[in-house]
């Protein structure tokens, strides 16, 4: 349960219809298997103690008596096991029969949650046997000694992890217009379990999956769905054991149907709670729930879920292409609106031959095409300086020509030398003044050309640079509209690559591919043997790490310890070498750099130009990030120092 991860399981045993003693043993075997895998919440199907397809046998005393006996034995057998188990069982109360989910832990029956929505249509006829479950909990006596609460409004919460709140619903409940899980979530439940017996017909699995994913997304929760499978009667229906584990709209694990396959996964309770805090429209407020506490030992949870090393970039190529097209459309439509609003038919873009300015030019071309404007209205300016190499210069020139923009060249070297003389800066001293003087000279040129041409300066800097403060204040930091302001560096690369793939101009494709192969650099220091001497990632660290840190800090609100741990998993192996891509020491080093720079450079983000938001993470001071410019990073850095001193970085 370290870092809020809870290991859960959805399990389908092979049962016999109307044989509770046999089913008890099969359920117990699965419980022991789940214990070996260290699952702490284990969910079985609807009515698995008896079988869902018992029909009128549910009305017989022998079956109900044996089911109760099996339930009590199962509860006793959970003693000493570090888990909460949900099993489906019929329970009689005051002359009526209820289809319930029994919660078992530490040798006890904690409570019974009755099914609320009782289907009696098509192949279902549950109302023939079962009553609609009560919402307000009542106390029922299973035996003279065993009294337990039964009702829909029960929340189960471990004493060692009180932020985990678990509620149950049963099968049809999720298919109904107003599922009980809505009330559960509004009462604080962040993990919903569903004990189901959903039969298979053609295409039903897709809809069922969409329900589980959608409900977990809408309620911002974990959702564990366990369904009946082999062993149920096939008189008229067949069950596939379609087990699923979802978290906030993402399917973490899904069983292969018709296999009675158990699935396991880790639900991130911290992330769920963080998302709920962030979403102000998620307002808890349903009262009258009875909270039942039980004991779980605190244990580390080893992760089997996929931790994406590039969270901003979809892994699947088709989805990645769709995302790239969508982002390019958002960027170009944002710029189109700004150009329309200002009655501007001229855009000024500084082109360096690097990734960011290339993307900005591609977006500007799209916006002009949408407006039906002549691309010659795009003033694409290349401004060679002390660090410009032939490679980037040539790519800049050829890119502008291929796209049909208006090419302008302004060599900044002499102007910067005059400026150096004015401020008594030695040209041989390659310090921050040497670098920033060039960046500010370029911005001045762009701004003045825009004034002269009645145009608008299009910003090129990306979100990763803004997060790190890797921008010259009032230099490349400034523009009139920053089209890349919410695009992380790892995604910039894929956007340019996508454009290269879809463009029909072979010359343009070749230029874009060479831009992609060029090291990221501001080119503010003189080249060495004609090659780039100043590589950004050698100075501030790999952008794929910084984008990973940025995503989990802003999107999920995670602390540095958890981000570090996730990075260890995400970059644990390299496809080519089979070794970890980054050592724990390297990850820790650049995480410290990220935190120091992120906090110290907020003043640059506090006065950013407008720019379109394209994803769930952004750093605009008017939108997603309302952060004080003078906040201290010490709290975050001290936590990393503890990792460093404890030696925790040596293992996952």
3-state secondary structure at position 1 = coil
Q: What are phi and psi of 118, to 5 degrees?
A: -105, 110
The residue from 48, 117, 167, 171 that is catalytic is: 171
Q: Taking CA 575 as the corner, what is the angle to CA 531 and CA 248, rounded to the nearest 5 degrees?
A: 110
Map 223-241 to HEC letters.
Answer: EEEEECCECECCCCCCECC
The side-by-side arrangement of strands in the sheet containing 191-196 is 250-254, 244-247, 222-227, 191-196, 166-170, 154-158, 290-294
The side-by-side arrangement of strands in the sheet containing 263-268 is 138-141, 147-150, 108-114, 96-105, 84-93, 41-43, 5-10, 263-268
Bridge partners (DSSP) listed for residue 264: 9
325 is catalytic: no
525: left (phi over 0), alpha (psi -120 to 50) or beta: beta
288 is catalytic: no
Q: Work out the angle between the directed axes of helices 489-502 and 317-341 (0-180°, nearest 10).
A: 90
Place of tokens 């400026």: 419
**Tokens encoding 652:** 């996952």
**Tokens encoding 134:** 């009560």
Q: Where are the alpha helices (DSSP H) in 197-316?
A: 204-218, 269-278
Q: DSSP assignment, residue 2?
A: G
**Integer Cα distance of 19 and 160 in angstroms:** 37
**Integer Cα distance of 298 and 308 in angstroms:** 26
The residue from 35, 46, 200, 465 that is catalytic is: 46
**Integer Cα distance of 266 and 305 in angstroms:** 6
Q: Taking CA 40 as the corner, what is the angle to CA 34 and CA 46, rounded to the nearest 5 degrees?
A: 70
CA distances from 595 to 127, 345, 560, 621, 638 (A): 59, 41, 9, 18, 11
**Integer Cα distance of 626 and 436 in angstroms:** 27
The residue from 7, 30, 81, 115 that is catalytic is: 115
Task: Report the first-to-last Cα separation within the chain, whole angstroms.
Answer: 14
**Integer Cα distance of 286 and 537 in angstroms:** 50
Helix count and strand count (H, E) for the chain: 20, 20
165 is catalytic: no
Bridge partners (DSSP) listed for residue 577: none
**Tokens encoding 491:** 């995604």
**Tokens encoding 452:** 């002269």
Catalytic residues: 46, 115, 171
């Amino acid at each position: 349960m370290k870092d809020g991860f809870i290991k859960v399981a959805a399990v389908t045993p092979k049962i016999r219809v109307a044989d509770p003693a046999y089913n008890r043993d099969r359920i117990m075997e699965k419980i022991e298997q789940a214990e070996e895998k260290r699952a702490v919440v284990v969910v079985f199907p609807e009515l698995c103690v008896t079988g869902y397809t018992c029909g009128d046998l549910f009305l017989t005393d022998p079956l109900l008596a044996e089911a109760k006996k099996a339930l009590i034995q199962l509860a006793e057998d959970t003693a000493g096991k570090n888990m909460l188990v949900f099993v489906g069982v019929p329970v009689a109360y005051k002359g009526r029969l209820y289809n319930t989910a029994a919660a078992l832990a530490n040798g006890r029956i904690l409570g019974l949650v009755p099914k609320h929505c009782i289907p009696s249509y098509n192949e279902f006829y549950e109302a023939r046997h079962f009553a609609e479950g009560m919402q307000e909990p009542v106390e029922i006596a299973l035996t003279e000694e065993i009294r337990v609460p039964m009702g829909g409004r029960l929340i189960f919460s471990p004493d060692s992890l009180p932020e985990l709140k678990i509620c149950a619903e049963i099968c049809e409940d999720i298919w109904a217009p107003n599922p009980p899980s809505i009330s559960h979530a509004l009462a604080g439940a962040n993990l919903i379990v569903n004990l189901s017996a959903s039969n298979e017909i053609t295409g039903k699995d897709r809809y069922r999956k969409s329900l589980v994913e959608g409900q977990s997304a809408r309620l911002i929760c974990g959702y564990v769905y366990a369904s009946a499978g082999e062993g149920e009667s096939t008189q008229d229906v067949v069950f596939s054991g379609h087990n699923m584990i979802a978290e906030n709209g993402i399917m973490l694990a899904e069983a292969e149907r018709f296999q009675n396959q158990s699935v396991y996964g880790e639900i991130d309770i911290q992330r769920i709670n963080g998302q709920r805090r962030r979403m102000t429209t998620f307002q808890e407020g349903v009262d009258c729930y009875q909270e039942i506490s039980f004991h779980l030992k605190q244990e580390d949870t080893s992760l089997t879920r996929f931790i994406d090393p590039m969270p901003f970039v979809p892994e699947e190529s088709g989805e990645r292409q769709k995302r790239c097209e969508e982002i390019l459309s958002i960027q170009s439509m944002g710029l189109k609106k700004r150009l329309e609003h200002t009655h501007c038919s001229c855009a000024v873009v500084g082109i360096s031959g690097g990734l960011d300015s290339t993307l900005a030019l591609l977006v500007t071309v799209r916006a002009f095409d949408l407006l039906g404007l002549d691309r010659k209205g795009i003033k694409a300016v290349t401004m060679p300086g002390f660090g410009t190499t032939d490679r980037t210069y040539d790519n800049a020139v050829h890119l502008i020509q291929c796209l049909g923009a208006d090419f302008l060249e302004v060599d900044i070297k002499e102007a910067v030398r005059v400026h150096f003389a004015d401020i008594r800066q030695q040209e041989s001293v390659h310090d921050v003044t040497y670098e920033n003087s060039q960046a500010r000279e370029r911005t001045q040129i762009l701004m003045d050309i825009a004034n002269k041409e009645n145009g608008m300066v299009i910003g090129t800097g990306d979100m990763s640079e803004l997060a790190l403060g890797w921008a010259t204040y009032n230099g490349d930091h400034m523009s009139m509209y920053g089209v890349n302001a919410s695009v992380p560096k790892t995604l910039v690369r894929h956007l340019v690559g996508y454009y290269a793939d879809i463009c029909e101009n072979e010359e343009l494709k070749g230029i874009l591919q060479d831009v992609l192969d060029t090291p990221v650099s501001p080119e503010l220091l003189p080249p060495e043997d004609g090659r780039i001497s100043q590589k950004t990632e050698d100075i501030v660290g790999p952008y794929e790490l910084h984008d990973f840190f940025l995503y989990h800090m802003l999107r999920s609100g995670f602390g540095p310890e958890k981000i570090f741990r996730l990075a260890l998993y995400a970059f644990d192996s390299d496809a080519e070498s089979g070794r970890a891509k980054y050592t724990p020491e390297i990850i820790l080093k650049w995480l410290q750099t990220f935190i120091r720079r992120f906090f110290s450079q907020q003043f640059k983000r506090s006065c950013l130009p407008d720019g379109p938001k394209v994803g769930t993470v952004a750093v605009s001071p008017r939108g997603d990030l309302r952060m004080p410019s003078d906040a201290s990073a010490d709290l975050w850095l001290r936590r990393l120092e503890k990792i460093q001193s404890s030696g925790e970085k040596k293992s996952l």
